[in-house]
Amino acid sequence: MIKVGFIGAGDIAYLHGEGVNSSAGAELTGIWNRTRSKAEEKAKLFGTKVFDSVEELIVAVDVVYVLTNMETHHSYSMQAIEAGKHVLVEKPTAVTIAQIEEIKEAAERKGVQVAPVHNYIYEPSVMRAKDMIESGKLGEIVSLYVLYNIHHPEEVAGRYPGVIRQILTHHAYCTLYLSGAPKMASCMKATINDGSVPQENLAMVTLQMQNNSLSHLCASFASDDHAGDPWTFMIKVIGTKGATRYSYRDWVENTPAVVHSQTYSAYPYTIRSMGKHFLDEVIGKGKKPLSTLDDAITCMKIIEACEQSVEEQRHVSV
């Protein structure tokens, strides 16, 4: 059995616990969290133990999941890699490109697998969209839309960076997976809330792609979209010979989720599928993740271009 340990026991740990349980070849050996009560709550739920320190956890497992806030991803990942452990690290992989490059270099040097949690692409219909694009069935890609409108209350948004890093990271790896890297970015951001959280909760980006097609990315914590055919989370690809889409709204449960006002069932499936692929295929069989640390570096270049575009009010080369 592959032994897995979680550093961090916040909201996302619920879904990663289900992910580990869905792999027949892995077990959740234990959890560490800065605030012990959170680790105890998740450990009880998943029938596992609480570790007293990060060091004890790392020694006891084969694979470390880094599920803390973005600012600590780099240091915990490096600690685990230097101890010779495989790592699954939540997005954004780190704060800077240099930190991700350091993680990549250390992983290669120590011969361990490190993958970013780029979960939205671990969906059969997103993989089919990629296949249709790559096999030419959709013709030349003209436009790609990645749209996200899910309300996050101030007390949740306040724990995260703004939506450029928190949500456009998802959009960046989805774009990369389906349409390749962009060459130019133009971004605007806004904050529309009760005034208690300064970071942006709305951002929109236009990307010019290598083939001159355009992509539009939208990320909003400011409101839900509950109108007809909602843009809760949607990917739309339009090509010269065809089009396709993926929507969270194809699977909805009428109960609130941890943060979301309804349960968008696709979302937990993406985390489970990503975790299962990492444990069974990447660790178990040495395959590559669908999105790699190199992709995480390109994502960060897109994010930094967006931030620079906002700051300087101009289009920025990626």
| Sites of contact with ligand NAD (CB under 6 A) | 8-12, 33-35, 38, 67-70, 72, 90-91, 117, 119, 159, 166
> What tokens were used for 113?
């697998």
For residue 73, the one-letter residue type is: H
Check if the beta carbon of residue 169 is closer than 8 Å to that of residue 177. Answer: no
User: In whole angstroms, how close is the CB of 65 to ligand NAD at the nearest point?
Assistant: 10
Q: Tell the smallest beta-carbon distance from residue 33 to ligand NAD (Å).
A: 5
Q: Which residues, other chains included, contact 155 with Cβ-Cβ below 8 Å and sequence gap of 6+?
A: none
Query: How far is the C-alpha of 39 from the C-alpha of 317, rounded, in Å?
Result: 43
**Residue nearer to ligand NAD on the CB measure, 12 or 202:** 12
- What is the maximal distance between C-alpha atoms in the chain? 57
What is the chain's alpha carbon radius of gyration, rounded to the nearest angstrom?
Answer: 19
| 166 close to 237: Cβ distance less than 8 angstroms | no
- Smallest gap from Cβ 72 to ligand NAD, in A, equals 5
Minimum distance from residue 267 beta carbon to ligand NAD (Å) = 7
Q: What residue has token string 């003209």?
A: 142
In the numeric block, the tokens 């270049």 are attached to: 301
Q: Tell me which residue has its CB nearest to ligand NAD.
A: 10
DSSP letter for 138, please.
Answer: T
**Is the Cβ of residue 138 or residue 222 nearer to ligand NAD in the bound state?**
222
Q: Which is nearer to ligand NAD, 132 or 276 (CB)?
A: 276
User: Closer to ligand NAD at the Cβ: 103 or 117?
Assistant: 117
Q: Which residue, 53 or 255, has its beta carbon nearer to ligand NAD?
A: 53
Instruction: Please state the closest distance from residue 93 (CB atom) to ligand NAD, in A.
Output: 9
